[in-house]
Chain A
């Protein structure tokens, strides 16, 4: 009886998807008992509603169908079930609309894609629908990455690809790191890509759609770790950190952030963009003319937001990042070009008496890794606009903290300013105590 009813509701669901191929949102209608003599599946304006009373009927039923596709015989061998693709699609769909983290159900859909019973684009659409109900489902985002990889692989095998862009070393930000400094010739495509009108390495429509999915999921759940890390993945793996996309994303999220000042994940995404952009500015001139203004703008944005909206830890944390990047750029200027093969002793010597190297960088040099200054083309040093250094130094940051602490009425804001001040002071201590 229950099984029969579950079967009928599942058919209703399939009919709904057939009649309304553009369903773009799903929600559960709170309704603990079956009250009317009508289907618990309703569609209005492409919004799919499922009454809650039927979930405990259809979920176990569909779940059981999914598992039967995976059944094994007594000796543990997989039984080859020749179940129709259609019935598997229906069952996994019902399961995932309710429980989006059921990875076995997603895997069955991957197999259907491989068997060409399901198109990647179709399943991207379904997974987007699932995210409207479960915006922070990690398995759904993981499945999207798998689908996107299939699409990207297919397109890249049919059209010539520009050089893949080496991701920035994230530990130290900016231009440091093994990939970026792994030889001046290997790094060539980076700078080449920015200046020239290099074509986007991907299908623009696919990229736009994916970024929109991230945006919607971020709206639905604040500080959505999965949505924002997925967005960064898309920029790296679909847009291949194309300069134009990085800049556009930076500009697009600026407005969003101003309306979501508590969203640490959204702010961190900007950190990802800025770090990646840093790899595109490879000459001292480019760093000075383009990258520093970008950091200045970020500082100014933060000062405005911190002042207008006191008590937001996310903003103060983002400020730490911007300061750290700022320091890094300045250290690039002041550090003379070093030889990749220089011994760590030489590097140590090189950095002695320099107060502007953050602790991490000093350690880097100690490890004998090539210093980030090597990626600055030529041997231009200390070509920095004094105006920048003067108006944005450690001292001005400390002054900013003191100001807030002296004038702000908001106790939490004062505490956050104190935390930032402590963090800045620890950085100075870290340097002074550094054996280098």
Chain B
């Protein structure tokens, strides 16, 4: 009674070259069609969607194709009196969108378009006595929000606005025996949460708390025979999880532990040759989310046709250089 490995087979005729311009066209077009049902359905995460698209364009060297003024005005309109940002105009403020807003404005060097002091206040007010962060005033706690908070403040140069030590203790309390991290203390290790927690420790300069060999091994075991990486045991490989695992490995200096060539082949096979864009797996529907993480993954794997991506903030390195932001990673 043997079970087949949960994996995909890469079709013979799958794309194997990076279709750079097709992806840029896909993103440019995606942002332009604003009245369809799909667009309305995704409004609840609009600012994050814009971050995915704009970062992709920047990594591809084609950010100038997007309408800067329109974007900046829209982001500014998403800010609430409390300083937080909603996903779109009229949506409630949440830490997730505060980070997307700051990332977009940093790409465009346009932070002066919003009230930064209020935003810092919004973020620091969400910290709890145990160091954790609420996502918004309704009180949900998740290590993703810890990452959003410090990433946001780091980009604003205001990390001292929160109690970093307490925040760190909370994140470390979510570390499991396997070296990974979950959303709350005792929660299952999950590649997305690991990315957030390792990213948190990178931003706050505390990567020494990670057991790099133990965690690195767990992350490497995410690679399947197809070359793709999954997010947890017995899940299918996925371009977005490939990014989270890859970026975490990069942060802890263990990127060389996986088979890079096979992963590159898997990611390239997830492109759609006709429409442009990346899907989660070969042959599936493409979207901006997987397109960013496909491009960013290839960048971490050393693709020279795209800009170098920062593994912690998933933004172009040249943008971070411009604002003098440097994050120390573990060496291999």
Identify which of A70, A78, A101, A321 contacts B177 (C-beta below 8 A).
A321
Asked if B217 contacts A360 (CB within 8 A), the reply is no
List A224-280 residues whose CB lies under 8 Å from chain B.
Answer: 225, 228-229, 232-233, 236, 262-265, 268-269, 272, 275-276
Report whether B90 and A71 are in contact in the complex, using a CB–CB cutoff of 8 Å.
Answer: yes
Contact between B43 and A171, CB atoms less than 8 A apart: no
The reply on B25 being an interface residue by CB < 8 A is no
Contact partner of B41 among A98, A264, A311, A426, CB < 8 A? A98
Segment at the interface with B among A103-111, A188-196, A197-205: A103-111
CB <8 Å contact, A104 and B5: no
Closest chain B residue to A310, Cβ basis? B2
Name B140's contact: one of A146, A275, A413 (CB within 8 Å). A146
Within the assembled complex, what's the spacing in Å between the Cα atoms of A412 and B3? 9
- Interface-central residue, A55, A313, A413, by most chain B CB under 10 Å: A313
| B175 contacts A171, C-beta separation under 8 Å | yes
Chain B count of residues within 8 A CB distance of the other chain: 49
Pick the contact of B44: A99, A228, A422 (CB < 8 A): A99
A172 within 8 A of B: yes
Q: How far is the CB of A412 from chain B (nearest CB, A)?
A: 5
Measured CB to CB, the nearest residue on chain B to A265 is B188
Give bound CA distance, A320 to B187, whole Å: 16
On whether the beta carbons of A60 and B3 are closer than 8 Å, the reply is no
A168 with B186, Cβ < 8 A, contacts A308-B1, A310-B2, A317-B233 known: yes
| Residue among B37, B45, B186, B234 having the largest count of chain A Cβ atoms under 10 Å | B186
Residues of A with C-beta under 8 A to B290: none
Flag if B177 contacts A324 (CB, 8 Å).
yes
Q: Is B184 positioned at the interface, with any CB of A under 8 Å from its CB? A: yes
A400-422 interface bits toward B, Cβ cutoff 8 Å, 1 = contact, 0 = none = 00000000011011000001001
Residues in A neighbouring B185, C-beta threshold 8 A: 167, 170
Among A55, A229, A275, point to the contact of B184 (Cβ < 8 A).
Answer: A229
User: Does A116 count as interface, using CB distance less than 8 angstroms?
Assistant: no
- Are A313 and B233 in contact (CB-based, < 8 A)? yes
Chain B residues in 8 Å Cβ range of A409: 2
Q: By CB atoms of chain A within 10 A, which of B172, B184, B188 has the most?
A: B188
Whether A107 lies near B138 (C-beta < 8 A) is yes
Does B232 sit within 8 A of A, measured CB to CB?
Answer: yes
Q: Which of B4, B172, B233 has the most CB of A within 10 A?
A: B233
Q: Is A142 an interface residue (CB 8 A)?
A: yes
Shortest distance from the beta carbon of A431 to any chain B beta carbon, whole Å: 13
How far apart sit A135 and B90, CA to CA, in the bound complex (Å)?
A: 27
Question: How near does chain B come to A118, taking the closest CB pair, in angstroms?
Answer: 15
A218 at interface by CB-CB < 8 Å: no
In the complex, are the beta carbons of B188 and A320 less than 8 A apart? no
| Interface SS of A by simple majority | helix
Q: Is the CB of A232 within 8 A of B91?
A: no
Alpha-carbon gap, A154 to B78, bound state (A): 35
CB distance from B214 to the nearest CB of A (A): 7
Q: What's the least CB distance linking A316 to chain B, in Å?
A: 8
Judge if B196 is at the interface, Cβ distance under 8 Å: no
CA distance A179 to B283 in the complex (A): 50
Complex partner residue of B91 from A104, A317, A359, CB under 8 angstroms: A104
Minimum CB–CB distance for B329 against chain A, Å: 22
Contact partner of B3 among A70, A269, A310, CB < 8 A?
Answer: A310
| In the complex, B190 has a CB within 8 A of chain A | yes
Given the interface pairs A172-B177, A229-B187, A314-B234, the reply to whether A104 lies near B44 with Cβ below 8 Å is yes
Q: Is B173 an interface residue (CB 8 A)?
A: yes
Determine the chain B residues whose CB is within 8 A of the CB of A78 once the complex forms: 81
Convert B104-137 into 0s and 1s, putting 1 for each residue whose CB lies closer than 8 angstroms to a CB of A: 0000000000000000000000000000000110
Out of A146, A228, A236, A410, which one reaches B139, CB within 8 Å?
A146
A223 interface residue, CB < 8 Å from B?
A: yes
Q: How many residues of A contact B (CB 8 A)?
A: 69
In the complex, A430→B217 CA distance in Å? 13
B-side contacts of A103, CB under 8 Å: 44, 91-92, 94, 136
Taking a contact as CB atoms closer than 8 A, the residue among B41, B87, B177, B183 that contacts A360 in the complex is B177
Using known A-B contacts A55-B37, A171-B176, determine if residue A229 contacts B188 with beta carbons closer than 8 Å. yes
A112 to chain B, nearest CB (A): 13
Within 8 A of A (CB), among B1-41: 1-6, 37, 40-41
- Cα(A147)–Cα(B136), bound, Å: 15
* B273: chain A residues within 8 A (beta carbon): none
Residues on the B chain within 8 Å of A321, using CB: 177-178
The answer to whether B234 touches A410 (Cβ under 8 A) is no
Q: Give Cα distance in the complex from A264 to B187, angstroms.
A: 12
Q: What residues of A have a CB within 8 angstroms of the CB of B94 in the complex?
A: 103
Asked if B235 is an interface residue, CB under 8 A from chain A, the answer is: yes
Q: Is there an interface contact between B173 and A312, defined as CB atoms closer than 8 Å? A: no
Known: A56-B37, A103-B92, A171-B172. A146 touches B138 (CB 8 A): yes
**Which chain B positions have C-beta within 8 A of A314?**
233-234
Closest to A236 in B: B186
A264 B1 Cβ-Cβ under 8 A: no
- CB contact list, A280-329 vs B, under 8 A: 308-314, 317, 320-321, 324
- Max chain A C-beta neighbours (<10 A), residue from B2, B6, B40, B177: B177
CB within 8 A of A312: which of B3, B40, B172, B174? Answer: B3
Determine whether B213 belongs to the interface, using a CB cutoff of 8 Å to chain A.
yes
**Which positions 69-114 of chain B face chain A at CB distance < 8 Å?**
81, 86-87, 90-92, 94
A420 → chain B, closest Cβ, in Å? 11
Instruction: Decide if A29 is an interface residue (CB 8 Å cutoff).
Output: no
Within 8 A of B (CB), among A85-111: 98-99, 101-104, 107, 110
A145 to B135, CA, bound (A): 14
Contact B173 A170 (CB under 8 A): yes
The reply on A119 being an interface residue by CB < 8 A is no
25 CB < 8 A contacts A-B: A59-B37, A59-B40, A60-B37, A70-B91, A72-B90, A107-B136, A145-B140, A167-B185, A167-B186, A169-B173, A170-B186, A223-B234, A225-B183, A229-B183, A233-B184, A263-B234, A264-B235, A265-B188, A265-B232, A308-B1, A312-B3, A359-B211, A412-B3, A412-B5, A419-B221
What would 18 more interface pairs be, CB under 8 Å, given A310-B2, A310-B3? Answer: A56-B37, A59-B37, A59-B40, A63-B40, A223-B234, A223-B235, A228-B188, A229-B182, A229-B184, A229-B188, A232-B187, A233-B184, A264-B233, A265-B232, A269-B188, A314-B233, A419-B221, A423-B217
